[in-house]
Structure 1
Amino acid sequence: MNAIEIRTVDVVQYIKPLREGGSLPGLVKADDEFLYVIKFRGAGQGKKALIAELIGAELARAMGLQVPEIVFMNLDDSFSKTEPDEEIQDLLKFSVGLNLGLHFLSGSIVYDPLVSIADPFTASKVVLLDSMISNIDRTAKNTNLLNWHKELWLIDHGSSFYFHHNWETWQTHLERTFPAIKDHVLLERATELPKAAAEIRAQIDETIIAEIVSKIPEDWLLSESEPLSPKEMRSAYKEFLNTRLAKLEVLVKEAQDAR
């Protein structure tokens, strides 16, 4: 795997809110002239959703899955002053600083489990990725998948790593599996789980996990209300993922049983 490089861009135009998501992501233009879907630090789950998005997406990319490019997005305070909608005005105001963006896939189609494309091997890898990151939000109701150029693309990992919403008890999650996999939208198509697990083990190791976690901006880890320091949080994310990687066979069996 190549070294992970995440660019930083400045938001130059707020185009519109994308009301499909509960956290009101927006479509914006950056100073590199590209369009992005921006996830706001001032939204419901705050900076933790951005951390989950970053780790989940880059882990998926390291596994060879298709994910839109992720960028860090600087948002200044000028946008909230010109926004007429009060709800969005507040969101922009509370999101001044560093946010996260995903390259906008123009012309993409939301994945429909009845008609969309997903080959068994890719489906199996996605199922195991979501088991590893405890992603509860890839169901038939909300697939968080797109078909673009006849390929399956993964978006929105912000509901993963739910242990980080209570750092007091995070270590109790190390021994758990992921029973919610039974509701995964791709589970029925995931008929090559052992083969997918073997490839994931060949692609992901402690070094790659450490590099991905190192990309979390320090600012996103700072909080006076948390019992852990940013360094301790990084260690926790690494330990959690390394533990999941070590029990991949258990996650395979759990998914097979759920099928």
Structure 2
Amino acid sequence: MLKEVVATRYVTPLREGGSLPGIVEADDLGTYVMKFTGAGQGRKTLVAEVVCGQLARRLGLRVPELVTIQLDPVIGLAEPDQEVQELLKASGGLNLGMDYLPGSLGFDPLAYEVDPREAGKVVWFDALINNVDRSWRNPNMLVWHGDLWLIDHGATMIWHHNWPGVAASAAKPYDASDHALAPFGPDVAAAAAELASQVTEDLLTEIAAEAPDEWLVDEPGFETADAVRRAYVEALLSRAATIHSRITLGPPSKDRPSQAPGWLAGPWPHQEGAK
């Protein structure tokens, strides 16, 4: 299970995220990026962070350690920003924290090169969880001590916003043409060969169990939190075996950065005829 800590000080909001995450200090002396149950995206965002973040870690991808954080809204009374105060008031109880990586830099394809093997693993993983938020517009990756780290998995598994359509949604292909790592010739076939067999029912069940009951209860169409967990397991398990054959890697969209020399004009590295 995820380690649980208690927030002791609200440090500052992070304005980059639409859900207004914040940096907090906790009673274990750690510093975390905190995501709140009271944010507009709601508790499903936190469930997605847990399921996808923990799955990535188990597959050998770098994701900052995740914890649950107990929040007493009183710690935000001195916060001058009214929007932040309202968010803290709406988020009392259990929230999500991600280990803060001091000195990390946002991923820049012009400054950091990713080898095809690692790029393939990330693209395959994002296809598995249907991550629509790892494009060149918003990579949601950090470089820390020379390594690539994945963050922000709240915009994944879109099917959990409409469980009756989960089978059709989970069967859809994944267009990685605008993926932030597309220019590096991701070896998706090698990634699938290495990772798909690791995504077992037992592994997914173990990971889904880490999502707290209070983020899962009262989900329409489900009688128990465990029933919701089972739905996550079934959706990801059915997708893992075949998603590699439904990944599209074509030229990026025309509105990509026109002056970015790191973006290849084609042919793409994975395509026949590329030099």
79-88 or 137-146: bigger deviation = 79-88
Bigger radius of gyration, 1 or 2? Answer: 2
Give SS of 2:134's match: coil
Question: Is 2:114 the counterpart of 1:100?
Answer: no
How far the C-alpha of 1:202 sits from its partner, in A, is: 4.3
Match of residue 182, structure 1, among 172, 177, 181: 177
User: Which residue of the partner structure matches residue 79 of structure 1?
Assistant: 75
- Is the CA contact 2:53–2:153 (under 8 Å) kept in the aligned structure 1? yes
Question: Is 2:174 the counterpart of 1:159?
Answer: no
Give SS of 2:85's match: helix
Amino acid at match of 1:204: V
- Is the CA contact 1:209–1:238 (under 8 Å) kept in the aligned structure 2? yes
Please give the root-mean-square deviation of Cα atoms over the aligned residues, in Å.
Answer: 1.6
- Is the CA contact 2:43–2:215 (under 8 Å) kept in the aligned structure 1? yes
User: Which residue of the partner structure matches residue 28 of structure 1?
Assistant: 24
Within 5 Å, give how 1:203-242 maps onto structure 2: 203-223=198-218, 226-229=220-223, 230-242=225-237
User: Which residue of the partner structure matches residue 141 of structure 2?
Assistant: 145
Give SS of 2:248's match: helix
128-137 or 169-178: bigger deviation = 169-178
Q: For residues 182 and 74 of structure 1, what CA distance do their matches in structure 2 show?
A: 39
How far the C-alpha of 1:122 sits from its partner, in A, is: 1.0
Q: For residues 167 and 193 of structure 1, what CA distance do their matches in structure 2 show?
A: 28
Give SS of 1:183's match: coil
- Is the CA contact 1:167–1:228 (under 8 Å) kept in the aligned structure 2? no
* 1:163-210 deviations in Å (ceiling 9; x for gaps): 11122322321322223x222111221432111111103433211111
- Once the two structures are aligned, what percentage of the paired residues are identical? 43
Q: For residues 218 and 137 of structure 1, what CA distance do their matches in structure 2 show?
A: 26
How far the C-alpha of 1:79 sits from its partner, in A, is: 2.1
Q: For residues 201 and 178 of structure 2, what CA distance do their matches in structure 1 show?
A: 29
- The structure richer in helix per residue is 1
Cα pair distance change 1:194/1:220, threshold 3 Å = same
Q: Structure 2, unaligned stretches of length 5 or more?
A: 252-267, 269-275
* 1:81-112 deviations in Å (ceiling 9; x for gaps): 33221111110011111111010000001001
How far the C-alpha of 1:249 sits from its partner, in A, is: 3.5
TM-score by length of 1: 0.92
Q: For residues 152 and 179 of structure 2, what CA distance do their matches in structure 1 show?
A: 14
Q: For residues 89 and 149 of structure 2, what CA distance do their matches in structure 1 show?
A: 31
Runs of 4+, deviation exceeding 3 Å = 255-259
Q: For residues 155 and 249 of structure 1, what CA distance do their matches in structure 2 show?
A: 22
How far the C-alpha of 1:250 sits from its partner, in A, is: 1.6
Amino acid at match of 1:220: W
TM-score by length of 2: 0.86
* 1:141-181 deviations in Å (ceiling 9; x for gaps): 111000001100000000001111122322321322223x2
Question: Is 2:45 the counterpart of 1:49?
Answer: yes
Q: For residues 160 and 199 of structure 2, what CA distance do their matches in structure 1 show?
A: 22
User: Which residue of the partner structure matches residue 17 of structure 1?
Assistant: 13
